[in-house]
Structure 1
Amino acid sequence: MMEVQTQDANLNRPQVKVTFGLGSETYSVEATKGILSEQLVYVKDQSMGILKDFIIRNNALNDVPDEPADGSSEEEDEILEKPQVKSKKTKTT
């Protein structure tokens, strides 16, 4: 009987607990319900949500425009970046 009570007491304890830092902020996620695989999925989903919010919050001021400011297109840049190939001249004797 004692062993069953110990197992029941451990079912309410979280088996999966994650603490991670992003920049100077620290986050903690733990799962208390379900079997181990369900707890892992829950912690993963919560962590991904925290990461998404962190990225959105910290990159909002650093928006990068899709097009370069000088108006040149990507195709023009590619053409300019290709090195010119010199033609080889053969000597005939």
Structure 2
Amino acid sequence: MKTYLTILSILFLTGAISGCASKSEREFVKGCKMGGADSSTCECVYEKIEDKYGADRLEEKFYIISQTAEFQDEIVRYGMQCMQE
């Protein structure tokens, strides 16, 4: 679980992917994939956090939001949910 949390935490601080997705989504998915998750799981997790926080807030304050322990716990929870779907 700690390894998974570490991997998911790294995803907030890294890279970008291509396509018509927002910058924050591209960064999230690339970092998530670098952490070892597959694209569909990463995209699912991003959709869940975007639903909770809103696209505009994520786009503007993604780095700040991602630094909270609450947010990181949500990402782990969402990651588990998405892997089971």
> What is the TM-score normalised by the length of structure 1?
0.28
Higher helix share: 2
Give the structure with higher Rg (CA): 1
Higher relative contact order (CA 8 A, sep 6+): 2
Higher strand share: 1
